[in-house]
Amino acid sequence: MTPIIEFKNYTFKYRSQSEPTLRDIDLRVNPGEKVLIVGPSGSGKSTLVHCINGMVPFSYPGESSGTLTVGGKDPAKTGIFGMSKIVGTVLQDTDGQFIGLTVAEDVAFALENDCVEQEEMFRAVDEVAEVVDIKALLGNAPTELSGGQKQRVSMAGVLVDDVDILLFDEPLANLDPATGKRAIDLIDRICRERDKTVIIIEHRLEDALYRDVDRIVVIGDGRVVADMTPDELLASDILIQEGIREPLYVTALKHAGCQVAAKDHPQHIETMNLEPYQEKVRAWFEKVSLPEIQGEEKPALEVLDLDFSYITGKPILSDIHFRINKGEMLAIVGKNGAGKSTLSNLICGFIHPDHGKILLNGSDIADKSIKERGEAIGLVMQNPNQMISKPMIFDEVALGLRVRGVPEEEVKERVYDKLKICGLYPFRNWPVSALSFGQKKRVTIASILVMNPEILILDEPTAGQDYRHYTEIMEFLKHLNETLGITIIMITHDMHLMLEYTDRAIVIADGELIADDKPAKVLTDEAVADRAYLKKTSLYDLAVRCGIGDASGFAERFIYYERQVRADGGQNSDVQ
């Protein structure tokens, strides 16, 4: 079979860099295949995609050697417009892809460019809207839609041009788990029913494997490290060696001393042959015991009977009631649009409740201004670029103190202290623009910490991060929690984060608080998971299929064991 994408000994170096980003790439993708590409940040995944869709060398100039053909053409000679007739790309940031004022206009954009007759255009837009289930949204503005809806509109925009190859860049990054499952299901359906070749780049490997893929290509340091079936890859140690997170059930099997074999088909926990592993998993469960959790419970923040609506008669939050104790590290989870960010805005004072109270250290803060609340409650937004307003790191971290009239000598002392805590002291005189995304995130955290807050609220602290950077950020937050005693609240879609780093989860669905419990119990409760668009953890399936009745207890032991392994530097722990 003639491959639809073929790299032969292909090397590419950006014009601004001294070393190649891609080195000696040999890769073939056949028509109709669905290939998942994984790798740590900076490994060359995105560059590989840019080569396929023609962005390299036209938008990103550089030097290349070897050969690349896509649909029988050389992208470097065909150009971006020519490649857009062969390859459709759905970006991670879907907002950057919208052009039309309505969904229908946006989907029809490519057809309008091609001067397609209006009648034919209406028919094509209707047909593709049916495929991705957005017919009811055709009259809406793209900006009004949820994350999952925006992604489906982006898919329609590339499908309408009847391209042969679909590229998806981090399709799950901003979606709640259940919406992510639907996105992967839709991609799979389009691949099968419309006979498309699909390339997916994704950090959330376990979620991306919700539907079958033909192969997984692992990119590391600009090279193809592995190109194999999911079963073969999950039976190897390549993912761990490359700093990529394995599915939780695979990690749990390895903790239990099992050697995972490809012949047992580990791609899906639901259908994997677990017979050879059940005894070891049960023995591990019996061996690992949980420690007694002790600690004084002093309330830091209390939310009492809170109601809020933007439009009268359409409540966003109803009767929200919970207490957060000093020094806790907890997650607030729920589907897109559930009201999680609205809740954080109410706590910070950006908006005011219709009914109910918010207490800080036992005192009502209704009459406190945003500035006064900001002395005790710090909010770190998902995108650091939306928070940073100064060009230099020192000035950015010092800003909050300076506007409050703190003496310059004290400003310098406090800024240097927080930069050391955040691992940024060596960069104190650097421009912010020279930092990576993860380092910018730390700058925003430092700018909040310098105010000495009691509570830190973080919106999606790990969105779009690879496993290494995710671990780096979360270990840093854990360090702040343990050493400074700061209460940390995380708004997140990441179920792994919730399981591994928090001891409590508050679940919001349809504006109501439906659960307040240990993460392991939340993610092994099918009713709660379904209503809040969460994803039941694969540890639940592993426990049930291995004959362990206490599935949430199994998940809790796994979390405890994982934390001990991390504390021991990544070696399997002898936890008893």
Q: Is the pLDDT of residue 544 over 60?
A: yes
- What's the rounded Cα separation, in Å, for the pair 191 and 125? 19
Domain boundaries of the chain, sorted by first residue: 1-86+163-230, 382-452
Q: What does the DSSP assignment read for 425-482?
A: GGGTTSBGGGS-HHHHHHHHHHHHHTT--SEEEEESTTTT--HHHHHHHHHHHHHHHH
Question: Of the ranges 261-275, 296-310, 418-432, which is most confident?
Answer: 261-275
- What's the rounded Cα separation, in Å, for the pair 265 and 251? 15
Return the pLDDT at 322.
Answer: 96
**Would you state the structure tokens that stand for residue 496, as one six-digit string?**
């792994």
Angstrom CA distances, 463 to 248, 474, 525, 552, stand at 19, 12, 25, 26
- Angle (CA) 183-511-386 rounded to 5° is 65
Return the pLDDT at 550.
Answer: 93
Give the lowest-confidence range in 14-28, 82-96, 207-221, 238-252: 82-96
Return the pLDDT at 309.
Answer: 92
Return the pLDDT at 468.
Answer: 78
Return the pLDDT at 576.
Answer: 45
Return the pLDDT at 460.
Answer: 84
- 14 touches 222 (CB < 8 A): no
* DSSP, res 136: G
pLDDT digits (tens, 9 = 90+) for 385-395: 889 999 999 99
Amino acid sitting at position 475: E
pLDDT digits (tens, 9 = 90+) for 406-450: 999 999 999 999 998 888 898 899 898 877 667 888 899 899 989
Q: Is the pLDDT of residue 573 over 60?
A: no
Give the lowest-confidence range in 37-41, 195-199, 334-338, 544-548: 334-338
Nearest C-alpha neighbor of 175 from the set 495, 536, 514: 495
Give SS3 for 357: strand
Return the pLDDT at 294.
Answer: 61
- What's the rounded Cα separation, in Å, for the pair 329 and 488? 5
Return the pLDDT at 570.
Answer: 59
Mean local confidence (pLDDT), 165-173: 88
Work out the end-to-end distance of the chain between its first and last CA atoms, rounded to an integer number of angstroms. 55
Q: What confidence tier does 575 reach under pLDDT thresholds 50, 70, 90?
A: very low
Choice between 183 and 78, residue whose per-residue pLDDT is larger? 78
Return the pLDDT at 572.
Answer: 57
Q: Is the pLDDT of residue 147 over 90?
A: no
Q: Which helix (H) or strand (E) holds 401?
A: helix 393-402
Q: Is the pLDDT of residue 231 over 80?
A: yes
- 211 touches 189 (CB < 8 A): no
Mean local confidence (pLDDT), 153-159: 90
* Percent of the chain whose pLDDT exceeds 70: 97
- Angle (CA) 200-175-374 rounded to 5° is 135
Nearest C-alpha neighbor of 289 from the set 2, 549, 573, 3: 573
Return the pLDDT at 464.
Answer: 66
Domain 1-86+163-230 annotated CATH 3.90.1010.10 = no
Q: Is the pLDDT of residue 176 over 80?
A: no
Amino acid sitting at position 408: E
pLDDT digits (tens, 9 = 90+) for 472-505: 888 888 888 998 899 999 998 888 889 889 989 9
**Average pLDDT along the chain:** 90
**Would you state the structure tokens that stand for residue 204, as one six-digit string?**
């959330």
pTM metric for this prediction = 0.83
